[in-house]
């Protein structure tokens, strides 16, 4: 089975995660997919295959040399984003010659270079698209397919010398829980790569420091006809508070290494209101300053309206650069593997998070490599087939280039 055939098969599994269930994996479809992958890994001939109660699948490709080589790991996630339906995905291969691609004629849904100019980079290539009603699932089934196809290739080509290789497929990455129950000791790799990036060539070992914050406002409800000097409207306090944060530090005004405050949810009545934010910054000092600003503003609101406002804040993950930078040979290995595959490495910071960040701080240095897809999490997601094939080849090259 080719890497493309694997991908087209994998996207038929509905594996959307769901942060409301309180289970791991958060949805049964992820377990169904993992169980199907167990059978494939057995067919390929991998060993030490394990699928634990939380839906974490691990396996080993044994070394085919007596050289004392380090153990490398490759990791991808089973789930797709809850942002859009992943049920009944109907992928289609298009030979792209430029212009608009009609995803859904009935509903006039177009994948257009006018809206997505990056399409122009793939003229002359076969690309996989959706029918306009679901996401595609290249995030991260392209990663799953490229890893398994690479293991199949290495198993079938013993002349390619390599050390011990560990692979893992994790649940619930899209809801920030992909590393929650990852057993680093059991995985037993010296370093690893998540295959969870986008555009061909992406190589990422810097990500945001991340926190989540909730600000709660307590009001006092009085009949509005008799409310003068009595009512305290919690919803109004929330609206006022949101305006105190710097507008230039919203996501829509930031790029590159610039951090942000992102208001992701707001709800409220006169009696009670809540603002939910995520806080992001690559720089640890600026990250801490952002959290401190929230504390200061809560104090300001309480000075105006005593005991009206409380803050809950929790760190989610940190910039993996702190862990990976002392091990730059891992990055150099990935760069060489890409170059050997005819890919120009694109080293850039992740304006988001990755399981690799948390795993790095759990003792497993784990930068992120491209899987090839673009426009993740929506109906306009697409996957150039040459990019998927290059992802597979990069994995093979990493395995055979270790310590060369």
Catalytic-labelled residue, pool 79, 174, 355, 381: 79
**Nearest of 323, 402, 393, 315 to residue 362 by alpha carbon:** 323
39 in active site: no
Where exactly are the structural domains of the chain? 3-206+320-401, 209-317
Asked if 139 and 381 touch (Cβ cutoff 8 Å), the reply is yes
Tens-digit pLDDT profile for residues 110-120? 999 999 999 99
**Predicted pLDDT of residue 211:** 94
pLDDT for 355 beyond 90: no
pLDDT for 202 beyond 90: yes
pLDDT mean across residues, the chain:
95
Tens-digit pLDDT profile for residues 63-84? 999 999 999 999 999 999 998 9
Catalytic-labelled residue, pool 139, 140, 152, 173: 173
Tens-digit pLDDT profile for residues 122-156? 999 999 999 999 999 999 999 999 999 999 999 99
Domain 3-206+320-401 has CATH 3.40.630.10: yes
Asked if 272 and 219 touch (Cβ cutoff 8 Å), the reply is yes
With pLDDT > 70 as the criterion, what percentage of the chain qualifies? 100
Residues contacting 81, CB < 8 A, separation 6+:
16, 17, 135, 139, 174, 376, 377
pLDDT for 207 beyond 80: yes
**CATH no. for 209-317:** 3.30.70.360
159 in active site: no
pLDDT for 157 beyond 90: yes
350 pLDDT band, cuts 50/70/90, is confident
Does this model's pTM top 0.75? My answer is yes
Range 23-32 average pLDDT: 97
pLDDT for 403 beyond 80: no
Degrees, nearest 5: CA angle 100-388-201: 90
**Predicted pLDDT of residue 353:** 75
């Amino acid at each position: 089975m080719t890497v493309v055939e694997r991908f087209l098969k994998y996207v038929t599994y509905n594996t959307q995660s769901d942060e409301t269930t309180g289970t791991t994996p958060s949805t049964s479809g992820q377990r169904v997919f993992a169980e199907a992958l167990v059978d494939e890994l057995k067919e390929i001939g991998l060993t030490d295959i394990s699928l634990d109660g939380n839906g974490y699948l691990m396996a080993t490709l044994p070394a085919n040399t007596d050289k004392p080589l380090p153990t490398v790991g490759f990791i991808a996630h089973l789930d797709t984003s809850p942002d859009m339906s992943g049920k009944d995905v109907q992928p289609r291969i298009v030979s792209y010659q430029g212009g608009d691609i009609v995803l859904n004629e009935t509903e006039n849904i177009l994948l257009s270079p006018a809206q997505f100019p990056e399409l122009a980079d793939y003229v002359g290539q076969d690309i996989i698209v959706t029918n306009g009603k679901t996401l595609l699932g290249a995030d991260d089934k392209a990663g799953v397919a490229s890893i398994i196809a690479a293991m199949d290739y290495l198993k079938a080509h013993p002349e390619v010398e390599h050390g011990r290789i560990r692979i893992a497929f994790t649940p619930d990455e899209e809801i920030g829980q992909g590393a929650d129950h990852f057993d680093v000791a059991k995985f037993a790799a010296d370093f690893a790569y998540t295959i969870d990036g986008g555009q061909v060539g992406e190589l990422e070992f810097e990500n945001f420091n991340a926190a989540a914050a909730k600000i709660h406002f307590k009001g006092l409800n009085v009949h509005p006809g008799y409310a003068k000097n009595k009512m305290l409207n919690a919803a109004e306090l929330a609206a006022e508070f949101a305006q105190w944060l710097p507008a230039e530090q919203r996501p829509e005004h930031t790029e590159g290494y610039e951090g942000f405050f992102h208001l992701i949810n707001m709800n409220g009545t006169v009696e009670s209101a809540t603002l939910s934010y995520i806080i992001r910054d690559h720089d640890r000092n600026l990250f801490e300053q952002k959290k401190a600003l929230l504390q200061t503003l809560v104090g300001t609101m309480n000075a105006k309206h005593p005991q009206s406002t409380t803050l809950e804040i929790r760190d989610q993950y940190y910039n993996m650069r702190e862990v990976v930078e002392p091990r730059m040979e891992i990055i150099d290995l990935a760069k060489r593997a890409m170059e050997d595959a005819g890919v120009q490495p694109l080293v850039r910071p992740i304006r988001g998070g990755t399981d690799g960040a948390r795993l790095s701080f759990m003792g497993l240095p784990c930068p992120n490599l491209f899987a090839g897809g673009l426009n993740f999490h929506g109906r306009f997601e697409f996957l150039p087939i040459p990019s998927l094939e290059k992802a597979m080849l990069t994995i093979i090259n990493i395995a055979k280039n270790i310590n060369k």
